[in-house]
Chain A
Amino acid sequence: MQPGRRLFIRGVLALAALTAVPRALLAMAWPANAFGAVAASDAMNELFGTSQSTPSDAITLGAPEIAENGAVVPISIETSLPDVQSISVIVDKNPRPLAVSFEIPPGTQANVACRIKMGETSPVRAIVKTPDGLFSTEKEVKVTIGGCGG
């Protein structure tokens, strides 16, 4: 056996050991199938195993009525539902409807904010996952200039 090859194998093993640490930290791999889905119901099926959710008044979705720039739409989601496991945002008319998904460990409060892109006027849905099932609320956001193409 050539020493070069042995070194290479040792290097690969060392690298695997190094990368294993941060991987273990992650709760879940990036759900590529859910993010790649072109239909909102498919994205939900991939992410949750169902596309059904119960409308809930306990979720507050903050989003502008009219977004002048679809490239930067500020949204916030807050809920008083107990034991929230995740909060996901679906923009029905985007080319890929699932925009972002927050995984919420115990101790973290269920209020999040971020900025998303919207291609056109569309309902924006917040899906909250708890041990009791999926809950949702939605709001129509009008977009004057889309932010997905160019």
Chain B
Amino acid sequence: MASKIKVKVKLNGDVAEVKSLMMHPMETGSRKDPDTGATIPAHHITQLTFTNNNEPVMIVNCSTAVSRDPYFSFNFAGAKAGDTFAVSWVDNKGESDSTEVVLT
């Protein structure tokens, strides 16, 4: 399955500006199905890892209070064109997704 993570990295000198958007329902576990009244079980990303050339540049621990289809942005120094930048997440059901881009 194709990755549902979108990532854009803009190089500004040696500083990389990262913007990342991913598809995930981020169910809180307190919402009820309007038809059946049954509680919809929690389903959320627990940990996101951003790496540049396999070196972690950011780790995000998420609760259910992160909005559906999470968006994250941050900057890091020491990047250069040709670096491989990767994003991956795991969720509380053990599902995962990842993608990578080469910096230009």
Q: Do A and B bind each other?
A: yes
Contact A102-B59, Cβ < 8 Å, known A30-B46, A108-B76, A114-B72: yes
B74, A112: Cβ atoms under 8 Å?
A: yes
CA distance A73 to B43 in the complex (A): 19
A28, B65: Cβ atoms under 8 Å?
A: no
- Mark B residues whose CB is within 8 Å of A: 15, 26, 28, 30-32, 34, 46-47, 49, 51, 54-68, 70-78, 88
| Interface magnitude class on chain A | 35 or more
B65, A103: Cβ atoms under 8 Å?
A: no
Q: Which residue of A lies closest to B78 (CB)?
A: A107
B interface, over-half SS: strand
- Mark A residues whose CB is within 8 Å of B: 22, 25-28, 30-31, 35, 71-73, 91, 94-96, 98-105, 107-109, 111-118, 147-150
- List 30 A-B pairs, Cβ < 8 Å: A27-B56, A28-B59, A28-B61, A30-B47, A35-B61, A35-B63, A71-B67, A72-B67, A91-B65, A95-B30, A98-B65, A99-B63, A100-B61, A100-B62, A100-B65, A102-B58, A104-B58, A105-B58, A107-B57, A107-B76, A107-B77, A108-B58, A109-B15, A111-B74, A112-B74, A113-B73, A116-B66, A117-B28, A148-B65, A150-B34
